[in-house]
Amino acid sequence: MTMTLISAADLAERLDSPDVRVFDVRHDLTNHAAGRQAYEAGHIPGARYLDHETELAAPRTGTNGRHPLPSREAFGALMAAHGVTPRTLVVAYDASGGMYAAHLWWMLRWLGHGQVAVLDGGWQAWVAAGLPTTAEPAPAPAWLETTAEPGAALAGTVDAQAVLDNIARPSFTVIDARAANRYRGEVEPMDPVAGHIPGALNRPNGENLQADGRFKPAGQLREEFASLLDGRDPAAIVHQCGSGITACHNLLSMEIAGLSGSRLYPGSWSEWCSDPSRPVAKGA
C-alpha cells in the first residue's frame, strides 16, 4: 500500500526509531533564506533540513524551469548521505500546507522509494499538539551508504516536447495546480509570461486542504477530483504548476483519494514559457 500521510501523534511515536528519517523542507519562494532560518529557530527533534533551491533542484539554465529535477543518481546520493536506505520510513514536513513536503514525497517515489509520508498539517500541527521541538542540529546518521541505486520509479514524468505534441494529438490531460488568477493569465508574480498551457485544466492545490491545514478526507478528495477528471483515467493525467513543486500536492491528493498513476511535468510553466515558440492560452 502506498504511503501518503502521517499524523503528528503517529510520527511522535516513531521518532526514536533508527529506521525513520524526518526532513524539514520549509521554504519560501520569495525569500530563499526563510526555510533554513525557521529550521535553525526550531524543528522536530532529529529532523534534517533540505533546501529546495540548492539541494532538491538541479542547476538552472534559463530554459529548464525554476526547480529542475536533479538526476535520480544525484538525488539518490543525497538521500544516502542522510542515511536513507530501502527500509527507511521518510517523513517530510513544511509550514505551507504540505506543498514542499509533497514535492519531496513525489521525488522519493520517483527514486523508487515507497516508504515516504507527508506530515499532515505540517509544522503547525506538530506545534499545536504540544510535541517537542529543538534548535539543535540533527546528529550524523547512525549508518551511511555512499551510493544509492535508484529503484524502479513509482512515479513518472513527461517533458516539454511531450506536452507540446499532446496539444496537437491529445493522449493525456494536463492539470495546472497554480492559483486560478495565474492560470487565467490575469497575474504572474513568478514568471515572465502569464497564461497556461493550452488545454490544461485548473485545480489550485490549496483546494486540497481543510481550514486547519490538513488534507481533506480521502472520500472528499476523490469526489472533487472525479468531478474534474470527468471520466478520464488517472493514468492519462499530467500535473504541472509554476516549477514542478505544487503540482506534487495534487499528485499526493489524488493518491490519497485512491486515484493513482498520474505523472508530473517537472519543468512546468517556468520551463514552458521560457520558449516563445510554445503556445500560451489565457482565460478560463
Residue 149, pLDDT score: 65
The answer to whether residues 33 and 118 belong to one domain is yes
73 in a domain, yes or no?
A: yes
Query: CB atoms < 10 A from the CB of 56, how many?
Result: 21
SS (H, E, C) 193-219: CCCECCCCEECCHHHHECCCCCECCHH
State whether 36 and 107 are in the same domain.
Answer: yes
Co-location of 102 and 186 in the same domain: no
Show the DSSP H helices in 45-204 as ranges: 72-81, 99-111, 122-128, 160-168, 180-183
Distance CA 187, CA 174 (A): 20
- Residues 258 and 174 both lie in one domain: yes
Asked if residue 281 is part of any domain, the answer here is no
10 and 111 co-located in one domain: yes
Buried-exposed string 235-249: b where 16+ CB fall within 10 A, e elsewhere: eebbbbbbbbbbbbb
Q: Is 255 helix (H, G, I), strand (E, B) or coil?
A: helix
The per-residue pLDDT for 141 is: 72
CATH of the domain at 248: 3.40.250.10
Q: How far apart are CA 247 and CA 253, in angstroms?
A: 10
Strand-pair partners of 119: 6
Question: What is the structure's pLDDT at 153?
Answer: 85
171 and 123 in a single domain? The answer is no
Same domain, 64 and 113: yes
Q: Measure the CA angle with vertex 269, ends 266 and 270; round to 5°.
A: 85
Pick the closest to residue 58 from 255, 249, 267 (CA basis).
Answer: 267
One domain for residues 109 and 164: no
Q: Catalytic residue among 119, 200, 241, 247, which?
A: 241
Number of domains in the chain: 2
Task: Give catalytic status of residue 273 as yes or no.
Answer: no
Q: Is residue 23 part of a domain?
A: yes
- Yes or no: say if 116 and 108 are a contact pair by the CB < 8 Å rule: yes
Is 124 in the same domain as 201? no
Burial 5-37 (b: 16+ CB within 10 A, else e): bbbbeebbeebeeeebbbbbbbbebeeeeebbe
Looking at the structure, do residues 85 and 44 belong to the same domain, yes or no? Answer: yes
pLDDT at residue 143, as a whole number: 53
pLDDT score of 234:
97
Are 42 and 124 in contact by the 8 Å Cβ rule? The answer is: no
For 207, the domain range is: 156-272
**CA-CA distance, 68 to 59, in Å (whole number)?**
7
Whether 124 and 165 map to the same domain: the answer is no
- Clarify whether residues 174 and 118 are in a common domain: no
Confidence (pLDDT) at 148:
57
Positions of the chain with pLDDT lower than 50, given as ranges = 146
Domain stop point among 74, 108, 128: 128
Domain membership of residue 107 (yes or no) is yes
List, in sequence order, every residue forming a beta bridge with 230; answer none if it has no partner. Answer: none
Helix (H) or strand (E) holding 268: helix 268-272
- Domain-located, residue 225: yes
What is the residue whose three cell numbers read 539543535? 136
53: in domain:
yes
pLDDT at 66: 98
Half-sphere exposure in the Cβ direction for 273 (13 Å, CA): 23
Q: 92 in a domain, yes or no? A: yes
